[in-house]
Structure 1
Amino acid sequence: TALQKQLRAWLESDARHREEFDHLSRVWQAADLIPRQRLEALCQPDPVQQLPRRRLLRQALAASVAVLALGLGWSAWHYQQLNHQDTLQTAFNERRQVELPDGSHLELNGSTQLQVDFSAGQRHVRLSAGEVMFTVAHDSSRPFVVDTAQGSVTVTGTRFDVRLDPAATRVAVEQGSVRVQGQGASLARLTAGLGSYIDAKGVVAAPYTVNTNAVTAWRQGKLVFDNATLAEVVAEASRYRSQPIWIAPGKVAQLRLSSTFSTDDTDALLRALPSILPVAIKAHEDGSREIIAK
């Protein structure tokens, strides 16, 4: 809103403004300790028509305090919406939903870690590990930026998935548009139904069509593969297992399949593979599994 923009501009125009606002926020927090019933009682008009001057002054002062408390309360609340820092993380195979103060919604996949840093001029998230589905509340005056080791994704309001792999950051857009920025001038603009990735050198790949339902199926606890190579299937399934899966050297890794499995039961995937592809599963004493050609 116009009022929000004015507040942000005022806060950023002078460091003393922010100090004063912080001070007022602390005053509000102190005022919040006053019981609500007491404040309401102080603001109620006295039924007696002729009041002593001292009582009138006392009531006027109480009303002023109540108005100030309400004003400071709104200001402190709004300040908290603009300025927010937090670290979010999930355990192995855990999924979590989080709503940020600006109304943006995050869905975290397992083994994910990110840092949130909101201020009056920006909405900044640092993805250190894992995968997140972002539904970003629109705010053209405060771009929403997701940083990773390879580059960044910038939006003002949209719905997209960011996944951090060991050597790449992968982006898929479900709604709206995003700007994917790598190192230097390497960038791509993605709209709904398109994806891209930033490789380890910071180079952004040309946009390509993605099946966003398949990419984000993890939100429903599913793994959806559409003509995926066995290497891609194993890499994805391994994210939801404590014991590794290996593929024997050779052409086995390039075999392709289309199917759907549960993230909570990757053993079912291993049991099904020999009936889908010409492979066998070899179990090792350490709990790992190896996929070999029949």
Structure 2
Amino acid sequence: MLAVAALHLRASGYWADYQSAVGGQRQIQLADGSSVMLNTGSALSVDFSAKQRRVSLHRGEAFFQVAADPARPFVVDAGAGTVQALGTAFDVLRDRDRVRVTVVEHAVIVSNADGKTLERLNEAEQIQFDSRVLGRAETVNPSRIAAWRQQRIVFQEQPLASVVAELERYRPGKILITDSAIESLPITGVFGIGDTDLALQAIEQSLPVRVRTLGSHLVLLSAR
């Protein structure tokens, strides 16, 4: 029982080398000259050897700027698979067994735990995968993904349910939608990640949505 508990704590990043608080961010300089920026509620461990530079993203999101070293590949283990840099800047988001990779510069190799591999994900492309399914590469605007590094979140015609899930990452507690009729309401806007209450206020003012805050850790959204 203790061994199982220890494995769970290790996998969740409890003993990670680097962590960021909910709502916070953290800049890390690695020994090889690479840099990592952790987004809210993230955990990362580093394991460099003479043959490989390997980091494990236990949870959350990280932006990697990788220093060139052809003799030692730079590999990110995201649980459901791996991302290998090809002289690169890229973003990895891990949500349990679901992983999203976005390339900002150059390219990466993406492999999932089931052995499926995309040999090249190029600049301005994104892919999502889990341990069994490797999605298709899609063209994206990297600046939208990079917005969190400027303390912003950008939404473009995204459903309320997706917006709530994203806002929830930046605050303690839960945001619950109690009426399924409002889950698909589209939202376009730019919000600061440092004040999610202000974002919720803007949603209430622009949509037929009522926002109720119960204590410091629960927000309910319903139709009005």
Structure 1 length normalisation: TM-score? Answer: 0.67
Question: What residue is the counterpart of 1:215 in the other structure?
Answer: 145
| 1:88 aligns to 2:18 (yes or no) | yes
Larger Rg: 1
Tell me the amino acid that sits aligned with residue 28 of structure 2.
V
Gaps of 5+ in 2: 1-15
| 1:128 aligns to 2:75 (yes or no) | no
List structure 1 segments (4+ residues) > 4 angstroms apart after TM superposition. none
Number of equivalences: 208
1:213–1:120 Cα change, 3 Å: same
Tell me the amino acid that sits aligned with residue 198 of structure 1.
F
| 1:262 aligns to 2:207 (yes or no) | no
By relative contact order (CA 8 Å, sep 6+), the higher-ranking structure is 2
- 1:216 aligned counterpart, secondary structure: helix
- Distance of 1:241 and 1:185 partners within structure 2: 35
1:147–1:287 Cα change, 3 Å: closer
| 1:170 aligns to 2:100 (yes or no) | yes
Given candidates 181, 188, 204, the residue that maps to 2:111 is 181
Structure 2 length normalisation: TM-score? Answer: 0.87
Tell me the amino acid that sits aligned with residue 123 of structure 2.
A
- Distance of 1:142 and 1:89 partners within structure 2: 25
Gaps of 5+ in 1: 1-85
Question: What residue is the counterpart of 2:32 in the other structure?
Answer: 102
Give the alignment of 1:10-159 within 5 angstroms. 87-159=17-89
- 1:215 aligned counterpart, secondary structure: helix
- 2:76 aligned counterpart, secondary structure: strand
- Distance of 2:132 and 2:93 partners within structure 1: 15
Q: 1:284 Cα shift? A: 2.7
| Structure (1 or 2) with the greater strand fraction | 2
Question: 1:170, 1:197 within 8 Å by CA — same for their partners in 2?
Answer: yes
- Note the alpha carbon deviations across 1:209-229, whole angstroms, 9 max, x for none: 222211121111111111211
Question: What residue is the counterpart of 2:9 in the other structure?
Answer: none
Tell me the amino acid that sits aligned with residue 261 of structure 1.
F
Q: 1:286 Cα shift? A: 6.2
- 2:17 aligned counterpart, secondary structure: strand
| 1:198 aligns to 2:99 (yes or no) | no
- 2:55 aligned counterpart, secondary structure: strand
- Distance of 1:287 and 1:185 partners within structure 2: 40
Tell me the amino acid that sits aligned with residue 252 of structure 1.
I
| 1:224 aligns to 2:154 (yes or no) | yes
